Amino acid sequence: MTFESHSDPITPDNINSGHETLGELTAEIQVHSAPFRRLVDEVGKTIVGQEGLIGRMVIALLTGGHLLIEGVPGLAKTTAVACLSKAISTGFQRLQFTPDLLPADLIGTQVYRPQTQEFVVQKGPIFSNLILADEINRAPAKVQSALLEAMQERQVTIGGETFFLDEPFMVMATQNPVEQEGTYPLPEAQMDRFLMKVVVDYPNRDEELQILRRYSKTNSAVEVQPVTTPAEVMMARALVDRIHVSQAVEEYIVDLVMATRNPVAYGLDLSELIQYGASPRATINLTLAAKANAFVQGRAYATPEDVKAVAMDVLRHRVIITYEAEAEEKTAEDIVSTILQTIPVP
């Protein structure tokens, strides 16, 4: 399991959360977070060596956010989402994005019925709960926009009629490296819609050995058992909203985001490396992700360590580097890492 657990001294400003004591909320969270710890374990029975990806999927599920995944083919991204949907007992759709894809192929369209002489709405595959948008950067801008509108608004419009998407709704989009030919890189404004960007790497030697022994058979399917339901996911989201964030942690989050925009104010010599810093959406998402990380640990309050645990994935795609940074072979991850090491932890 990839969620980081840390102790945090209880101070007067985080003993009480709203009108309930921290102890009462903690007891409730410990009960309702247990299925999500089992969820991680259940998906982990099938997926070997991708604990980070599984953990981020659960955080996105708990916050109502979406994931952008970057990694080479064959790292079980599709299998991970399929297993997650089975463990939640909810709908799953895999969409293969191609250059000839049309928005109607995604959201649906109106179809004429000669028998009744009227148009009826044929809903597209976006009307599901968990969506895998495979190779999103191989589709043209209109298709990307149609998907991202559904992600943001939780609704689509077909022929002047608006349809709301079912909850929980989560998009996990995979992306090829931008240097490959035949791709349409996502604009920065669209990438900002994703809660987190997760970089998936190869498994290590021991994990590769486990994969070999488990799946080098003609029939190697592992049955995933349901451990929670969509109703429990929605109840858990309500509890995540109630998790307490102290003023010190709030200011820490704001300082991390502000340091990407005005690094000089924080004593960082990064101005020539950053073209654009993170938007206010980063502040919101960083707070939500930290609260979800605390929830899975069974805590009613978020700590600075919760923030640090998710900060890289929340910020890496929101920090736009300059040509000078590329010339110096500096990446957005390098900049975020420097900020995390420099900003004092409360």
10-residue mean pLDDT series, the chain (346 residues): 44 45 86 90 85 91 92 82 87 88 88 84 88 86 83 85 88 75 73 91 90 81 83 93 95 96 92 92 96 94 95 94 90 94 92
CB atoms closer than 10 angstroms to residue 330: 18
pLDDT at residue 216, as a whole number: 84
Tell the residue number behind the tokens 């410990």, with chain if given: 30
Look up the CATH superfamily of 12-210+229-342: P-loop containing nucleotide triphosphate hydrolases (3.40.50.300)
pLDDT at residue 1, as a whole number: 44
How many Cα atoms occupy the beta-carbon half-sphere of 206 within 13 Å?
Answer: 1
Phi–psi pair at 176, nearest 5 degrees? -80, 155
Amino acid, res. 289: A
Task: Give CA separation, 281 vs 189, 218, 317, in Å.
Answer: 11, 46, 12
Amino acid, res. 105: D
pLDDT at residue 293, as a whole number: 96
Query: Which pair of tokens denotes residue 152?
Result: 């943001």
* Residue ranges of domains in the chain: 12-210+229-342
Residue 61 in contact with residue 289, Cβ under 8 Å?
A: no
DSSP assignment letter at 185 = P
102-125 b/e with 16+ CB inside 10 Å = b? Answer: ebebbbbbeeeeeeeeeeeeeebe
Amino acid, res. 294: A
269, with CB counted inside 10 A (0-12, 13-18, 19+), is: exposed
pLDDT at residue 223, as a whole number: 79
Query: Which pair of tokens denotes residue 2?
Result: 């990839």
Q: How far is residue 337's CA from residue 147's CA, in Å, rounded to a whole number?
A: 31
pLDDT at residue 158, as a whole number: 84
pLDDT at residue 178, as a whole number: 56
Q: Which residues does 218 contact at the CB level (< 8 Å), separation at least 6?
A: none
Q: How far is residue 4's CA from residue 310's CA, in Å, rounded to a whole number?
A: 10
What would the 3-class secondary structure string for 264-291 be? HHHCCCCCCCEEECCCHHHHHHHHHHHH
How many Cα atoms occupy the beta-carbon half-sphere of 329 within 13 Å?
Answer: 0
